[in-house]
Structure 1
Amino acid sequence: MVRMQSPSTVILTGASGFIGQHVMRQFTEQQAGCMTLDIRAIEGGEAKSSSVRAADGTLHDFSEVRDCTLVHLAWCPPVRDTLRPHARQVKLLAELLEAYGDSFGRVIALGSAEEYGSAGGRLQEQDAMNSGLSPYGWGKRSAQTLLETWCGLNDKAGLWLRPFTVYGEGQQGNMAVPYAVRQALQREVAEFSDGTQQRDFIHVDDVARAIYLAAGASWTGFNVANLGTGTGTRLRDVLEQIAVLFDAKDLFRYGVYPMRPGEPDVQVAATERATELFGFTAEINLDEGLRRMQQAIRQQHGGS
């Protein structure tokens, strides 16, 4: 049984991002306190004068915060062709930890399934790779190493979460699901690979709930945990469901692009560690998650 504790003050970075918005909503619905920090204030030597913002909008001097839990979500978009933006994010995390380390009792940070590189199958946390990674995967892997080292040096507890293929309302960018939805809404042709690769699709609300549970559980030491459903689904099957939901079957073209070099056929999360550490099991199946996404997006577009 997972032992829960009275939640400490939670400081959240990346609150305006895709996952961050859902995490904020989760904490608000649970009436749990959560403050936000704009990590951009770390740059330019402004760290020591930074403030955190409470849910009611009031600002608090960070120097007054003690024994809080940092939930670090802030990151740049997953750019695939250059290392520099990801190196910058690793540097920002280092500066954040150095500036505010005395305030943090524990740190929860978000990694990525891209840390597994070309490894395929049902992936355990120890299967992460140190070579053959995308720039995004390299950045996240480097950030995990940084956090683990900092926790060891400072006798702090850390939790590195690796969500697999996250999807849901509010997602932007050129990953397959948001790209497919955007093209469908704009009534423009969308071009894909054959889509035969199987991935573990997890709804963003499940990820947000996992982070909330992790913040309230009493784990110690440094830990790594996958976030997924434990079930693989062909990308093409997901895209075909999106095509039906958004009436876009005539717009989607498959087999236009080749698979990326080294892309594994199957990547599915081993989920036992998250259950053991903080009692998380994904609850939203793919059909429900895609319908939820479609309904939310239709409402945002006036039901059109």
Structure 2
Amino acid sequence: MPKRPLDHPAHAASARISSPLAPPSPDVPTPLLGNLTPAQFMRRYWQKKPLLIRQAIPNVAAPLSRDELFELADQDDVEARLITHFRNKWQLEHGPFAADELPALKQRAWTLLVQGVDLHDDRARALLERFRFVPDARLDDLMISYATDGGGVGPHFDSYDVFLLQVHGKRRWRISAQRDLSLRPGVPLKVLQNFEPEDEWVLEPGDMLYLPPHIAHDGVAEGECMTCSIGFRAPSSNELTAQFLYHLAERGENAAGGEHEGHAPQLYRDPQQPAVAHPAELPA
């Protein structure tokens, strides 16, 4: 799913969060990364290849209960989306959603996405703190996805790094490093037209999947489930140019390749980014 722009009000809100906890040590192995150190993870996997981690957080609990998530989705200052796939037709609606505006729990194949949960709940913020071995400048937010049986958002790719942590129920993930990123026409979501999965796993509570940008993936709930997505922005060259390199913009130089049929946009890349001890410091 597309992430919010860098100048979205929620990013300003994140600056008002109370002082963050100390970041994880770059050189201490952690179950969160399959007993790799953050430094090893960044060298071997960050922006390079996917990593499946069984029991990254044993005995994990969802930051919010289902009812708490539904209450959050009903607030005016919260970004929420409802995605349904009824009768083989994709539909997308934007919140807020009152409880009686959501489909019935027994209805299959619907998903509620709530962005920026870390801005509204200390438990979600505490979970996010576990991932501060990546510079804060790259951090976007923690999103929670609630889905009924068969729910998902279709096969798609993202333009950011993401850790997909299963916190309730089961979700089947299929992924592919395919180059064909063309999209189905006439669909309100960015659903891939020719998805060809290469790997497949069922994630249970505590399991986590890391995906770098542009790895095609499709997650489908097996029964009721909740997934936390910890996203790290990979801004396009256009975004960086518009916000930081105004002299290039004034000269009319566009360093980014735009998204077009079957091809991914050119993104800021940092495959050699080491784990950091001071995440608030801007990378060189």
| Pairwise same-fold verdict (TM > 0.5) | no
The structure richer in strand per residue is 2
TM-score by length of 2: 0.28
Specify which structure has the bigger relative contact order, considering alpha-carbon pairs within 8 angstroms and separated by 6 or more residues: 2
TM-score by length of 1: 0.26
